[in-house]
Amino acid sequence: MSGQSRSAIKPGLRVAIVLKQDQRTGKLTEGVVKDILTNAANHPHGIKVRLTDGQVGRVQQILQ
């Protein structure tokens, strides 16, 4: 499932994000959502979130 829709993302959800410094390589970082930082309902590059460990990036995948 992609992370382009804000309604699909909730705090506590396990996701794979791309960090700002990894956008060129596409390297994904897994973690648990703490805060949702994007206010828009949808974003073509993924909804920006903060993970519980403090890392910030855009959601690429929602994990099970």
- Residue percentage of the chain with pLDDT more than 70: 100
pTM of the model: 0.92
Quick check: 17 and 48 in contact, CB under 8 A?
no
pLDDT at 2: 81
Domain 6-62 is found in CATH 2.30.30: yes
Q: Where are the domains of the chain?
A: 6-62
Residue 12 CB neighbours (<10 A) = 8
pLDDT tens digit string along 23-47? 999 999 999 999 999 999 999 999 9
Q: Is residue 64's pLDDT more than 90? A: no
Mean pLDDT of the chain: 95
And the tokens for 64? 């099970």
1 pLDDT higher than 90: no
Task: With H, G, I as helix, E, B as strand and everything else as coil, classify residue 21.
Answer: helix
